[in-house]
Amino acid sequence: MRVTKAQVQANRARIVETASTLFRERGYDGVGVADLMAAAGFTHGGFYKHFRSKAVLMAEATASGLSQTVANSGGLDVAEFFRRYVSRDHRDVRSVGCTMAALCGDAARQSEDVKATFAAGIESMLAALEGAGATLGDVDQHKVRAKMIDMLAHAIGAVVLSRACPDDSPLSDEILEVCRTEILAPLSSAEAPN
């Protein structure tokens, strides 16, 4: 039976989505092609009909995950975004959480294509935050961007450090609470009436 172009595209999208989830959960090196294809519901041999290499899939799955992160932030004000981001709910769902928090450490050791994909995703996230952050009263775009870089790095670091601790560790929760409070403090003062 011949597979239609639409079905080929749907199969590829399913593989990319499955890879995005598994890479966030286990890291790039923690997912083999055979396991990935089985999780997506396909045979190992079918992988190379869709991708030249695992590295190509890694870049595509990373782009997909980063796009989801940016899309999930849409419509939230900056304070609400960071409240949700630096939370135990986010920390505990690595496989569907932010690709940056799950894979930044791994990405640093990957190909230039994966790094470039991360850079583009970070730029997209910053653009979304800058747009939402422009309502905080600062008209200097360089200051707004610097503030968003600082807050995003702080938030990602908080989630990464929290995940490095045992799940039920008081330290894990303390890291999230302290960092969330510090990230939100300047937002609260910017929103306060003068």
Span 89-115, pLDDT tens digits: 999 998 999 999 999 999 999 999 999
Span 131-176, pLDDT tens digits: 776 656 666 788 888 999 999 999 999 999 999 999 889 999 999 9
What are the tokens at 155? 């938030």
Where helices occur in 27-98 by DSSP H, the ranges are 33-40, 47-50, 54-73, 78-85, 88-91
In degrees, rounded to 5, the angle at the alpha carbon of residue 66 between the alpha carbons of residues 191 and 21 is: 125
Across the range 37-45, mean pLDDT stands at 93
Stated pTM of the model? 0.88
CA 60 – CA 183 distance, rounded (Å): 31
HSE of 151 in the Cβ direction (CA atoms, 13 Å)? 27
CA distances from 68 to 125, 145, 183 (A): 10, 21, 23
Which CATH topology does 53-191 take? Tetracycline Repressor; domain 2 (1.10.357)
